[in-house]
């Protein structure tokens, strides 16, 4: 058995911490021994499906203890896990099934209808007993009691994750067993997670940030307390009742948590157990940081930046979060980061260039996507003018992230834009994020804003600002303030007010820019 696989963590935790609580969800809990037994039962059943090695198995269900068991069971076989977030529509699920040839789907009663709608031809397993022709976890727990052993190779494919944006045709990124172990190791190190911690399982398990909460818990023999966010009151009850100490969030979660009157939040004394808050998957605002610090008075706030092609690149030390809240921090352990210009030279401080990720946590590549792999996974030779490649050892792969960033004089990185998001107007390249940041900083009444462009033959692209707030702000007032902070070519040509902004159905952290563009061009 490889030491670089999640299966080793499951076996070791059951041996050393058998009676320790591993999982909690509402009134139900499992010890590490109980978790191990159920994972083995499901893994044994999966292995007896006799699918070819490396076959993809999807999980399409709501969050719960059975979902975690299913994830760990697949990772205890030589199959590959494909998480399918419950937010996906049937046609999106069908796209992923066809793209990576999923042979089996594990689901629950609520999602069975969606699977039936797409006429899936593979095997289906349900958590609950539903019909005589669909096997269930209930039956597996009853009848599959033989010993189960496996031998996992750390370099084998473990997970393929898909993130639906606006195009509807994403590419899956392939993650190895070794990648999963490495990511758990580094996060538990810099967050100082230990076996006394209770990690909140608020995030969905469709991408690496969410899945990492499971693996960090196993790595340190901590407790994972699952939660489905519905209302802020429920969330705070989860923190208090489950005695949560580590709270991983996305910016959209922070917005929802503090969306209501802050007077309704529990007193800070009831939330003193929370020692660590992490945020990734978007930009945190000063208000988000202030809300968290006011509510979770003992918590250190870690802002983090990851890549699709690598688990994580940077984190901002909590001591810097109020000093430089806009920074994405410095490289995490075992990673080297460089900012290079179009000539391959290293950028000077505050000069914008592409972020190059070298070192640990690089994933295996995009599934069946040679073009995307060629764009992102490069020979280290692209850094030949930046680092010493003595001996011409150029087989090493680095990630050309497509993120435009700059580094300040003290070595802190700042995200500017994705390559594909840059606006070309009046002969200049403009970052939408830079304009959005100015709006957020100077107009606290604005709840959400997004900047994009539409075609304009006279100036290449016209900048559009769309925002939501409780009431409309006069466009002249907005422009007057923006002129104080932005060059004239960066000022929006159109400013549009909406009571709320449309969100991407499968990712509530993203504004649906394509829908806004259609509304604008069709009006």
The structure tokens 């499968």 sit at 506
Task: Give the whole-angstrom CA distance, residue 485 versus residue 337.
Answer: 29
**Is there a contact between 128 and 137 (Cβ–Cβ < 8 Å)?**
yes
Percent of all residues in the chain with a pLDDT value above 90, rounded to a whole number: 69
Task: Give the whole-angstrom CA distance, residue 145 versus residue 239.
Answer: 36
Task: Give the whole-angstrom CA distance, residue 133 versus residue 136.
Answer: 10
Say whether both 439 and 411 belong to one domain.
no
Instruction: Give the pLDDT confidence score for residue 168 in this predicted structure.
Output: 47
- Name the 3-class secondary structure at 372: helix
241 lies in some domain: no
Instruction: Give the pLDDT confidence score for residue 481 in this predicted structure.
Output: 93
Say whether both 171 and 195 belong to one domain.
yes
Say whether both 325 and 453 belong to one domain.
no
**Is there a contact between 281 and 165 (Cβ–Cβ < 8 Å)?**
no
pLDDT tens per residue across span 480-507 = 999 888 878 789 999 999 999 998 766 6
292 lies in some domain: no
373 lies in some domain: yes
Say whether both 467 and 381 belong to one domain.
no
Per-residue pLDDT averaged across 283-301, rounded?
A: 90
DSSP assignment of 413-470, as one string? EEEEEEGGG-EEETTEEE-HHHHHHHHHHH-TTEEEEEEEEEEETTTEEEEEEEEEES
In this structure, what is the dihedral angle of CA atoms 312, 316, 318, 322, given to the nearest 10 degrees? -140
Mean pLDDT across the chain: 91
Task: Give the whole-angstrom CA distance, residue 275 versus residue 20.
Answer: 21
Say whether both 111 and 209 belong to one domain.
yes
Task: Give the whole-angstrom CA distance, residue 211 versus residue 230.
Answer: 20
**Domain stop point among 228, 259, 286:** 228
For residue 157, pLDDT over 70 is answered with yes
DSSP assignment of 476-516, as one string? HHHHHHHTTTS-GGGS-SEEEEESS--EETTEEEEE-HHHH
Q: Identify the CATH number of the domain in which residue 445 sits.
A: 3.30.300.30
Counting the structural domains of the chain, the total is: 3
Say whether both 140 and 222 belong to one domain.
yes
For residue 100, pLDDT over 60 is answered with yes
**Is there a contact between 258 and 232 (Cβ–Cβ < 8 Å)?**
yes
* Count of all residues that appear for the chain in the document: 523
Q: Identify the CATH number of the domain in which residue 190 sits.
A: 3.40.50.12780
* 354: its two tokens: 């592409």
288 lies in some domain: no
Confidence of residue 253 (pLDDT cuts 50, 70, 90): confident
Say whether both 430 and 358 belong to one domain.
no
Say whether both 212 and 354 belong to one domain.
no
Q: Which is nearest to 466 in space by CA: 504, 423, 497?
A: 497
Burial state string for 456-468 with b = 16 or more CB within 10 A and e = fewer than 16: eeebebbbbbbbe
pLDDT tens per residue across span 179-198 = 999 999 999 999 999 999 99
Say whether both 196 and 337 belong to one domain.
no
Say whether both 89 and 194 belong to one domain.
yes
For residue 451, pLDDT over 90 is answered with yes
Say whether both 333 and 443 belong to one domain.
no
Q: Identify the CATH number of the domain in which residue 400 sits.
A: 2.30.38.10
Say how many C-beta atoms besides its own lie within 10 A of residue 298's C-beta. Answer: 13
297 lies in some domain: no
**Domain stop point among 228, 245, 263:** 228
289 lies in some domain: no
Confidence of residue 30 (pLDDT cuts 50, 70, 90): very high
Instruction: Give the pLDDT confidence score for residue 166 in this predicted structure.
Output: 42
306 lies in some domain: no
Q: 359 has which bridge partners?
A: 335
**Is there a contact between 81 and 158 (Cβ–Cβ < 8 Å)?**
yes
Confidence of residue 521 (pLDDT cuts 50, 70, 90): confident
- Name the 3-class secondary structure at 184: helix
Q: What residue numbers bound the domain in which 338 lies?
A: 314-418
Say whether both 392 and 431 belong to one domain.
no
Confidence of residue 167 (pLDDT cuts 50, 70, 90): very low
pLDDT tens per residue across span 224-250 = 999 998 888 899 999 999 999 999 998
**Domain stop point among 212, 228, 244:** 228
Q: Which residues does 180 contact at the CB level (< 8 Å), separation at least 6? A: 5, 6, 75, 158, 159, 211, 215
271 lies in some domain: no
């Amino acid at each position: 058995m490889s030491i670089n696989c999640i299966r080793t963590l499951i076996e070791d935790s059951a041996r050393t911490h058998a009676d320790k609580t591993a999982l909690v969800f509402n009134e139900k809990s499992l010890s590490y021994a109980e978790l191990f037994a159920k994972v083995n039962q499901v893994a044994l059943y999966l292995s007896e499906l006799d699918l070819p090695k490396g076959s993809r198995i999807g999980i399409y269900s709501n969050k719960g203890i059975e979902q975690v068991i299913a994830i760990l069971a697949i990772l205890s076989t030589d199959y590959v896990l494909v998480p399918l977030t419950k937010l996906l529509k049937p046609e999106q699920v069908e796209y992923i099934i066809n793209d990576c040839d999923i042979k089996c789907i594990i689901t629950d009663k609520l999602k069975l209808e969606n699977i039936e709608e797409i006429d899936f031809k593979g095997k289906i397993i349900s958590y609950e007993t539903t019909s005589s022709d669909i096997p269930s976890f209930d039956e597996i727990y009853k009848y599959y009691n033989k010993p189960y052993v496996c031998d996992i190779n750390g370099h084998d494919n473990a997970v393929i994750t898909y993130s639906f944006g606006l195009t509807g045709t994403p590419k899956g990124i392939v993650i190895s067993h070794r990648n999963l172990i490495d990511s758990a190791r580094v996060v538990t190190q810099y967050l100082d997670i230990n076996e006394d911690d209770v990690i909140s399982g608020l995030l969905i398990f469709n991408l690496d940030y969410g899945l990492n909460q499971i693996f960090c818990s196993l790595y340190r023999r901590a407790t994972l307390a699952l939660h489905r966010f519905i209302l802020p009151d429920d969330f705070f009850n989860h923190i208090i009742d489950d005695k949560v100490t580590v709270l991983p969030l996305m910016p959209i979660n922070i917005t929802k948590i503090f969306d209501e009157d802050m007077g309704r939040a529990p007193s800070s004394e009831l939330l003193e157990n929370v020692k660590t808050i992490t945020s990734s998957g978007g930009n945190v605002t000063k208000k988000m940081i202030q809300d968290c610090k006011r509510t979770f008075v003992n918590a250190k706030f870690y802002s983090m930046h990851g890549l699709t092609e690598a688990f994580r690149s940077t984190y901002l030390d909590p001591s810097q979060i109020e000093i430089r809240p806009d920074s994405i921090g410095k490289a995490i352990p075992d990673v080297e980061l460089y900012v290079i210009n179009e000539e391959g030279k290293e950028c000077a401080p505050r000069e914008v260039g592409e972020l190059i990720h070298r070192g640990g946590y690089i994933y295996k590549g995009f599934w069946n996507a040679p073009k995307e792999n060629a764009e992102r996974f490069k020979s280290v030779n692209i850094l030949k003018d930046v680092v010493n490649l003595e001996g011409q050892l150029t087989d090493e792969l680095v990630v050309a992230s497509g993120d435009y960033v700059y580094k300040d004089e003290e070595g802190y990185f700042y995200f500017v834009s994705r390559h594909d998001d840059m606006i070309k107007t009046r002969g200049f390249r403009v970052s939408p994020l830079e304009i959005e940041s100015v709006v957020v900083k100077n107009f606290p009444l604005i709840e959400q804003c997004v900047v994009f462009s539409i075609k304009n033959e006279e100036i290449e692209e016209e900048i559009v600002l769309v925002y939501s707030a409780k009431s409309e702000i006069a466009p002249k007032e907005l422009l007057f303030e923006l002129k104080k902070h932005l060059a004239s070519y960066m000022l929006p040509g159109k400013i549009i007010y909406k009571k709320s902004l449309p969100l991407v159905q499968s990712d509530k952290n993203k504004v649906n820019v394509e829908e806004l563009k259609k509304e604008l061009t069709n009006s």
